[in-house]
Structure 1
């Protein structure tokens, strides 16, 4: 399994790429998002939400940890940056094994609680609004997702 890469030249391109990826997502999919503050993790999640038919405003659940949105497939958006105890059992596995797509910002904080297969996406700042979107699939399901999404 390799790393898939795409250069995004703007917030709109990042949003559109994620929106198009959403067409290939299935219930039970888990997407990890890593990147510096302001890199575009929430923009990416907003694109996924739109692609899943979610019309509500999507913003980072920094203080609530988990926000749930209903669309064609439910979206469970997590931000575990402020989680004080990484070992705290918040029932993450119920989301990972549930009927929706789970997107986790700052997932490295709960690495011991992650499922055995997932797609890790790293958003790296380049110049200006340009970003490098790197995806590392863990598990055959996510290799297929990358092949469909990255072309």
Structure 2
């Protein structure tokens, strides 16, 4: 007898649960992007002006453009892919301590594409730089800001 009085409530609950699957917004999974052919070169003079170190201080800094190839093996473009990596100076000292997120690629189309990223390094750190463990990850849908 008691179960019969609860049937309408159970039916409504079941319908709401089913509707949540149909009406739920689609989730965008984090997509890994492989980065290869990583290298760097000095910034052109127009980009180098006003460069500061990663600590935000006004000390002298060197400007570099990091370049490479991003490979998106998913079947959809990836947006706002964060670039992670480690950068060391000629002595093996970290150039950007406690910081592995270096920037982002606004859009990574399906397949291979070139990317570049501007970085500032304290002028006192000896060159050449060592670029290690570079990777990227982003979403297949636009991310709200």
**What TM-score range do you get, normalising by the shorter chain?**
under 0.3
Give the structure with the larger strand fraction. Answer: 2
TM norm structure 2: 0.23
**TM-score of the superposition, structure 1-length normalised?**
0.22
Q: Which has the higher helix share?
A: 1
Rg (Cα) greater in structure: 2
